[in-house]
Amino acid sequence: MKLIKVIWIVAMFVNLSAVIWYILGSTAGFQRGMDLISTLILVYIGIPSLLLVVLSAVLLLKGWSPSSGRGILFILLISACMIFLSPILYKNVNVIGWLVEHVTADNLQVTSDGDYEYKLELINALQKNSYARLYLKNISTAKETRIPLEMPINKIKVLFLGDNRYWVNLESTSKKDIYMLTTTTDFPLPNERFEINVSTGKAIGLK
């Protein structure tokens, strides 16, 4: 009987951790809302799992112990259901945009002086923890640099991703290592302007 109770408790904690992990993953640590598929999995797998966990916890806290074969079968059935549902939740956890950055970028371009390849990268777009950065690659040395940009990315509610997307223009200036970055009308936040210093890796917003 003790072994059965141990299996029951282990199954309960495994199932509870699966539900918590699934909710955290599906919402990217509460940085975004759930999509349709994630919501359906939560409704048909997550909620029944949670109900089984609650039922098990209530019975254990009350000190209930089965005194017949039916009671033992009931515990085994609940434990089996919780163990069966847990892998489904773990398998459908999405860590992108939470534990792993989700990068969305426009097409790679070359600066007007031909010295750098560049593109605008949006990290975890359409989430609360989203931000923007400029990717640069020195063509002669192959050195890569990423420069943070202070843009109100959280204002973006919809992002259309076509095959040909050019969100920024990066133009050289008369000053050494200084470039002018401007967002285009293809970008949801047009006419954002920055002075880019490639030697220091810093961007200054311009009004």
**SS3 (DSSP) at 61:** helix
**In 118-198, which residue ranges form alpha helices assigned H by DSSP?**
none
Q: What's the chain's length in residues?
A: 207
Measured between alpha carbons, how far is 66 from 7 in angstroms, rounded to an integer? 14
Measured between alpha carbons, how far is 4 from 66 in angstroms, rounded to an integer? 10
Domain ranges of the chain: 2-91, 103-206
C-beta separation of 173 from 181 below 8 A = no
The DSSP 8-state label assigned to residue 153 in this structure reads: G
pTM for the full predicted model: 0.78
| Helix 2-26 vs helix 47-61: crossing angle, to nearest 10 | 140
Q: If pLDDT is split at 50, 70 and 90, which confidence band does 153 have? A: very high
pLDDT digits (tens, 9 = 90+) for 70-123: 888 999 999 999 999 999 999 999 888 888 899 999 999 999 899 999 999 999
